Amino acid sequence: MEKDKNLPVQQVNQVANFDFFNPTHFDTMQRVCKMFASSELVPDMYRASSENPVDKAMANCMIAVEMAQRIGASPLMIMQNMIIIYGRPSWSSKFLVATVNTCGRFNPLQYKITNLGMLGKIDYTEYEWNKDAKKKLPVKKEFDGTKVENLQCIAYTTAKGSEEVLESAPIDIKLAVQEGWYTKAGSKWQTMTRQMLMYRAASFWTNAYAPELSMGMKTEDEIRDIIDIPYEDVSEKVTKEKAENANKTVINIDGDRPNAQQSTPETKDPMNAEKKSGKGNGELFPNGQTDTGNQQKPKGPNF
């Protein structure tokens, strides 16, 4: 039957045609990898040497070649752009951008940079090692960004054959500070601000619209910036807490309980006085008790 040349042709992504469990494939791949491991053009971790045993080099090469087949890239390109950070493989940002630009599904990524004004003072959370908890715990800090411009970058492009603009989530310096990327020791965010904004916006764009191109791997700078904290789903805990405590104790501003005391600068200036434990100012609780100032702050409401 003659094919209708006017019919639309569905573009099919190249699929991996190497099967680790097929002895013939595996044998062929071993020979290919041995060749790569013997080359002087591949990076150190893929090259057999006195410091990198041939078995290890070939194993690294096999993973790289398999990934190259999966995303339709040259094995050498994968080897040169896959970087191991903290023991985890990652892409260089420029490789990720190049992969999006050359995959054939999208027009080249573009960037929109906007100046949102001066940053001001920003609260951010840094994760610091806690000896007692034996894990990193969040610590609140303040960043003085009164002299720092809050630039915002959005990566965007269109899918080929479509006019719909696909935009990344906006990345700005405020976010970089709040996430702790900007303030990290040796951070490139302070010296190569625009470049880092573009790289991160491109990563976010890829995560949202073409995660298959990055194969779930982060970029090199993302891995350096983003600390993985063990994820704990708090939904259940929060739901239980709300069910037990929300909207329970009734308070009334017109109540005739003697619970009011005018704050005065002498007794309540926290800049000059240390807080006592508990309420400590002889104030009356609703049941008429007078706090002694030595008790722990009561768990119940102070009304």
Partner 1 sequence: MELTVLGSSSAGNSYVLQNDTEALVIECGVSIKEVKKAVDFNISKIVGAIVSHEHGDHAGYIDEFLKARIQVYASYGTVKAAKVSYNNLPILYLESGCKTRIGNFTVLPFDVKHDAAEPLGFLIKHNETGNILFVTDSYYIPYAFTGMNNILIECNYRTDILERNIAAGKIPTKMRDRLLESHMSFETCKEALLANDLSKVNNIVLIHLSDGNSNAAEFKRDIHRATGKNVHVADKGLKIPFNKTPF
List of residues contacting partner 1 (CB under 8 A) = 120-123, 140, 142, 169, 179, 204, 207-208, 211, 226, 229, 231-235, 238, 241-242, 245-254, 259-265, 268-272, 275, 279, 283, 301-303
Whichever of 108 and 301 has its CB closer to partner 1, that residue is 301
Distance of CA 189 to the CA centre of its chain: 15
Buried b (16+ CB within 10 A) or exposed e, 262-284: eeeeeeeeeeeeeeeeebeeebb
Whichever of 131 and 275 has its CB closer to partner 1, that residue is 275
Whichever of 72 and 280 has its CB closer to partner 1, that residue is 280
At 230, list the tokens: 């063990």
Whichever of 41 and 229 has its CB closer to partner 1, that residue is 229
Whichever of 247 and 296 has its CB closer to partner 1, that residue is 247
Whichever of 142 and 149 has its CB closer to partner 1, that residue is 142
Backbone conformation region of residue 290, classed left if phi is above 0, alpha if psi is from -120 to 50, else beta: beta
Asked whether the beta carbons of 82 and 94 are under 8 A apart, the reply is no
Smallest distance, Å, CB 86 to partner 1? Answer: 17
d(Cα 173, Cα 145) in Å, to the nearest integer? 10
Smallest distance, Å, CB 289 to partner 1? Answer: 13
Asked whether the beta carbons of 302 and 279 are under 8 A apart, the reply is yes
At 56, list the tokens: 């290890």
d(Cα 144, Cα 297) in Å, to the nearest integer? 34
Smallest distance, Å, CB 34 to partner 1? Answer: 38
At 176, list the tokens: 């970089």
Smallest distance, Å, CB 290 to partner 1? Answer: 14
Asked whether the beta carbons of 178 and 125 are under 8 A apart, the reply is yes
Buried b (16+ CB within 10 A) or exposed e, 143-161: bebeebebbbbbbbbeeee
Strand partners, 165: 158
Asked whether the beta carbons of 111 and 155 are under 8 A apart, the reply is yes
Smallest distance, Å, CB 35 to partner 1? Answer: 38
Smallest distance, Å, CB 195 to partner 1? Answer: 21
Whichever of 18 and 111 has its CB closer to partner 1, that residue is 111
Smallest distance, Å, CB 28 to partner 1? Answer: 36
